[in-house]
Amino acid sequence: MSEPALQFHCSPGDSMGNYVWPRRLDAFLNAQGYFRLAFDGSALERLPMDAVIAYLSEGMAAPHDLRMFLPMTFVQPSGESRLLRSIFGFTAPDLNDTTFRTAFKDFVQNELYSSLQKAVIDTRKPVDPASWDEPPAIQIYFRGDVLDEHELLEALHSDMLLAIGPLLLSLGVAWVKLRSALLAIVGTTLMCLASLLAYLLLPVQQVSPATFLGVFLLFGLGFTSIFRMQEVWRRSRNEAEDYSDRLLYVHRAAVREMLPVVGSACCYFLLQNSKLVPLREFGFFIGVSMLLVCAFALLCFVPFLLMHERTFRPWIRRKFPGKLVLALEPAELKPDWDEVAAKVMLAVKRPKPLLAGAGFAVAVALIAAIAVTASQPYPALPEVFPPEHHREAGRPMHHSFAPSALAEEQAPLTIQMCEPGRGLSSCALHWCDLASTPNNNLSSWPTSQAATCMCYTQTSSAASCSSVSLSLIVSGPRPASLTQDVLHAKALEFASAEYSGAASVGMTTTTSRRLQSVVLEDWPSGMTQVDALTQLPPINVTFTTPRRSSSSCEDLVYCYCSPKSCTPPSGDLFPVGCSA
């Protein structure tokens, strides 16, 4: 990106792969008791997944966390997930927002959308039984504001081609109704111009899909104004002979003839009070379109009617053969409606059976409508794409993840894994080698978790101290399953047993502190186990027996209350017994 402070979104990026394949800066624990990792996703060796999950869930990777990559239904520590989310960032050409958005839209239209669409199609191809290739193991779903907008416009563009059908059908109906190919073409052209002009007048930068539906509605209803003007023009022959008088009659009668169409257009303008923006746009578009059709019918189509009657029709009849004239000007084309009229009159003469049949049909339709409505659990909102479309099919998966936002700060790139007992700060996780004891390997886990705690301390005696401040750190599933009161009581029992000559043993506070978890690694098998690490409240131990020194000492004890324990750090360390 052009902004240096946001370069981390591109390198190393926001991907869980950076945490799964981190680059080791140190082979293993060094002499100081730590090793470093760089989360850039460039390594070939994978970090154990339980360690990755522990690191992401304990807050040291902020602003990244576990919910950024895994669904909200994932439960630690034994949870499983078949879903993984990746978030991609794109390079900005410069800091100008308009230039960047223009370049990004071009990138989406020319490269990104077609590549993603091809990937979606490839993962959904039917399995060929004659092929040796394995079927795709993944399915791809993609979303994005610019991507969704472009995909919607692509769908609307393809669907707008379907409007050619109603347009051609309306042209054919107008051809027969107006009895002139020229008038039908002129009327259709005026309708298209009305829709385009209404689109230009629409006071929005981007129209909604509902607005495009008005095009289909306009082609179906827009010819009403054209047909009314043609009928008024035909009636004017009976009212006057001079063309000026006929034009005057047409314009006077247009007020009455156009009133229903203008009233319908005004009804659409009432949608401006709707709370839904697409519905307001639709009402404005179809209302303006119908008013424009009325205006075009009166101001443009009527002059064409005059020119057609005075000039075009006589010229066509003089220049073209009879059959072609009949096709272009089907004025004498009149269907034989005598038989149909006779059947209608016969039905009218029998009103009771007719009314009974109509009433029965209405009752059946009403019952069917009520039954269908009652069977719906709730009214569903209209969807743009079908349910099998990748955007709709991937919606449940998309909703299973927590909402994400573009981070303004970089997550830690280089971290330290520390060995327990070294007293190191800024540890992302604690890491140790599994203690080499009989049956102490992660591949043969005992059935019972009730194992004796193994504790280690750095001081061999408190004989030279008048008081001791004991810090007790415990790990394993057993302490995590106990309440604070029970755990504190056992810690006091342990301190009383270790310092049997103490005059008093007590805690200054009752608040424990959760430390970064410890990862126990079994090098022969490569297996790992993550245990919680908890620091209990300080325990004050005082003595009444005179000591060689009146100083106050500090003691740090690590207890592994698990069938497995860490190898103690090198140094003056020795085990301390701890009863279960």
- The answer on pLDDT for 337 being more than 60 is yes
* pLDDT bracket for residue 445 (50, 70, 90): very low
pLDDT attached to residue 347: 67
Summarize pLDDT for 565-580 with one digit per residue, the tens.
Answer: 788 776 444 555 554 4
What phi, psi does 272 have (nearest 5°)?
-65, -20
In a domain, 376, yes or no: yes
Residue 182 shares a structural domain with residue 297: yes
- Is residue 529 within 8 A of residue 430, CB to CB? The reply is no
Q: How many domains does the chain have?
A: 3
Amino acid letter, residue 474: V
Cα separation, 524 vs 441, whole angstroms: 9
Q: Which whole-number Å values give the CA distances from 33 to 427, 570, 571, in the listed order?
A: 11, 9, 12
* pLDDT bracket for residue 491 (50, 70, 90): confident
What phi, psi does 215 have (nearest 5°)?
-65, -45
* pLDDT bracket for residue 403 (50, 70, 90): confident
- Is residue 504 within 8 A of residue 543, CB to CB? The reply is no
Q: Which of 315, 334, 353 is the last residue of a domain?
A: 334
Determine which helix (DSSP H) or strand (DSSP E) holds 574, and give its type and residue range: strand 574-576
**Winning range, highest mean pLDDT, from 29-33, 142-146, 368-372, 490-494:** 490-494
Cα separation, 86 vs 19, whole angstroms: 13
pLDDT attached to residue 383: 56
Q: Which residue has the higher pLDDT, 210 or 40?
A: 40
What is the average per-residue pLDDT within 333-362?
69
Q: Nearest-CA neighbor of 521 among 419, 416, 412, 415?
A: 419
- E-state strands within 359-512: 414-418, 429-433, 454-457, 467-475, 504-507
Residue 382 shares a structural domain with residue 447: no
Residue 489 shares a structural domain with residue 568: yes
Amino acid letter, residue 217: L
- The answer on pLDDT for 381 being more than 60 is no
Among 134-148, 223-237, 312-326, the minimum mean pLDDT is found in 134-148
Residue 275 shares a structural domain with residue 254: yes
First to last CA, the chain: 57
Tokens representing 21 are 């394949």
Q: What's the half-sphere exposure (Cβ side, CA atoms, 13 Å) at 381?
A: 6
pLDDT attached to residue 395: 72
Among 25-39, 174-188, 433-447, 475-489, the minimum mean pLDDT is found in 433-447
* pLDDT bracket for residue 380 (50, 70, 90): very low
Q: Which residue has the higher pLDDT, 38 or 153?
A: 38
pLDDT attached to residue 206: 58
- The answer on pLDDT for 107 being more than 60 is yes
pLDDT attached to residue 94: 64
Q: Report the 10 Å Cβ neighbour count for 245.
A: 12
Q: Which SS3 state, helix, strand or coil, does residue 144 take?
A: coil
**Winning range, highest mean pLDDT, from 40-44, 85-89, 422-426, 480-484:** 40-44
Length of the chain: 580
Residue 296 shares a structural domain with residue 365: no
Residue 312 shares a structural domain with residue 362: no
Residue 259 shares a structural domain with residue 179: yes
Per 3-state DSSP, the chain is made up of helix, strand and coil in percentages (nearest 5) of 50, 15, 40
Cα separation, 21 vs 44, whole angstroms: 6
- The answer on pLDDT for 45 being more than 80 is yes
pLDDT attached to residue 46: 86
Cα separation, 435 vs 530, whole angstroms: 15
Q: Which SS3 state, helix, strand or coil, does residue 530 take?
A: strand
Q: Which of 271, 299, 334 is the last residue of a domain?
A: 334
Mean pLDDT of the chain: 76
Q: Which domain holds residue 478?
A: 434-576
Q: Nearest-CA neighbor of 89 among 196, 187, 6, 197?
A: 6
* pLDDT bracket for residue 556 (50, 70, 90): confident
- Determine what percent of the chain is predicted with pLDDT higher than 90: 0
Among 422-426, 517-521, 545-549, the minimum mean pLDDT is found in 545-549
Angle at CA 514, nearest 5°, toward 509 and 518?
140
Amino acid letter, residue 22: P
Tokens representing 489 are 């009581």
In a domain, 247, yes or no: yes
User: In terms of C-beta density within 10 A (0-12 exposed, 13-18 middle, 19 or more buried), how is residue 236 classed?
Assistant: buried
Residue 310 shares a structural domain with residue 185: yes
Residue 473 shares a structural domain with residue 520: yes
Q: Report the 10 Å Cβ neighbour count for 149.
A: 13
Q: At what angle do helices 145-160 and 97-107 cross, to 10 degrees?
A: 50
In a domain, 447, yes or no: yes
Q: Which residue has the higher pLDDT, 101 or 393?
A: 101
In a domain, 213, yes or no: yes
- Is residue 507 within 8 A of residue 492, CB to CB? The reply is yes
Q: Which of 288, 313, 334 is the last residue of a domain?
A: 334
β-strand 429-433 against 513-522: which pairing, if any? parallel
Q: Which SS3 state, helix, strand or coil, does residue 25 take?
A: coil
pLDDT attached to residue 454: 76
Write down the number of H helices and E strands in the chain. 21, 12
In a domain, 243, yes or no: yes
Residue whose entry in the numeric block shows the structure tokens 């005179």: 546
- Is residue 518 within 8 A of residue 431, CB to CB? The reply is yes
pLDDT attached to residue 204: 58
pLDDT attached to residue 95: 64
Cα separation, 152 vs 45, whole angstroms: 42
In a domain, 86, yes or no: no
Residue 441 shares a structural domain with residue 323: no
Cα separation, 35 vs 29, whole angstroms: 5
pTM, two decimals, is 0.57
- The answer on pLDDT for 140 being more than 80 is no
- Is residue 159 within 8 A of residue 172, CB to CB? The reply is no
Cα separation, 543 vs 552, whole angstroms: 11
Residue whose entry in the numeric block shows the structure tokens 């080698």: 433
Residue 372 shares a structural domain with residue 485: no
Q: Which SS3 state, helix, strand or coil, does residue 67 take?
A: helix
User: In terms of C-beta density within 10 A (0-12 exposed, 13-18 middle, 19 or more buried), how is residue 50 classed?
Assistant: middle
In a domain, 95, yes or no: no
Cα separation, 183 vs 301, whole angstroms: 8
pLDDT attached to residue 408: 75
Determine which helix (DSSP H) or strand (DSSP E) holds 498, and give its type and residue range: helix 484-498
**Winning range, highest mean pLDDT, from 8-22, 169-183, 290-304:** 290-304
Residue 312 shares a structural domain with residue 252: yes
- The answer on pLDDT for 179 being more than 50 is yes
pLDDT attached to residue 231: 85
In a domain, 28, yes or no: no
pLDDT attached to residue 448: 44
* pLDDT bracket for residue 388 (50, 70, 90): low
Q: Report the 10 Å Cβ neighbour count for 451.
A: 17
Cα separation, 150 vs 204, whole angstroms: 17
